[in-house]
Amino acid sequence: MEEKLDALFKLVKTLGTNMNKRFDEVDNRFKQVDARFESMDKRFEQIDARFESIDERFEQVDARFELMDERFEQIDARFESIDERFEQVDVKVDHLSSEMRSFYKRSEDRTNTHQNVLQQLSYKVNVHEGQIKEIQDKLQ
């Protein structure tokens, strides 16, 4: 019986040792699982860092678009300024055109007046020459 008891104690001791090994294996598995979770946490942190860098790049792109919008607004303002200048030039050209038309009209009127005066003088010269000829004929 003693032998049976010794065998049973040995069996219990072996079972206890086996149970301790099993608990150690379970602990090791939990440590491995914890290590996997830690590596996953690191990977998530890396992914978060990548998303943050992507967000920063988007902010840079947005800033560039805002700068481009400002530049387009400046260009639009310049076009508006140039349009106003063209309108001013058009007004001046229209004014000059009307002035030139009235000047040419006055010049034509003056030319016509001068031509009329010359024609009248030429007619009078012819009349006087005719009278002079008649007087000369009478004198001869």
pLDDT above 90: residue 124: no
Q: Which two tokens stand for residue 15?
A: 């079972």
36-67: per-residue pLDDT in tens?
999 999 999 999 999 999 999 999 999 999 99
Q: Which two tokens stand for residue 68?
A: 């481009």
Q: What is the pLDDT of residue 134?
A: 87
Distance (Å, whole) CA 43 – CA 22: 31
Mean pLDDT of 95-111: 78
Q: What is the pLDDT of residue 65?
A: 96
Distance (Å, whole) CA 69 – CA 61: 12
pTM: 0.45
Helices (H), the chain: 2-139
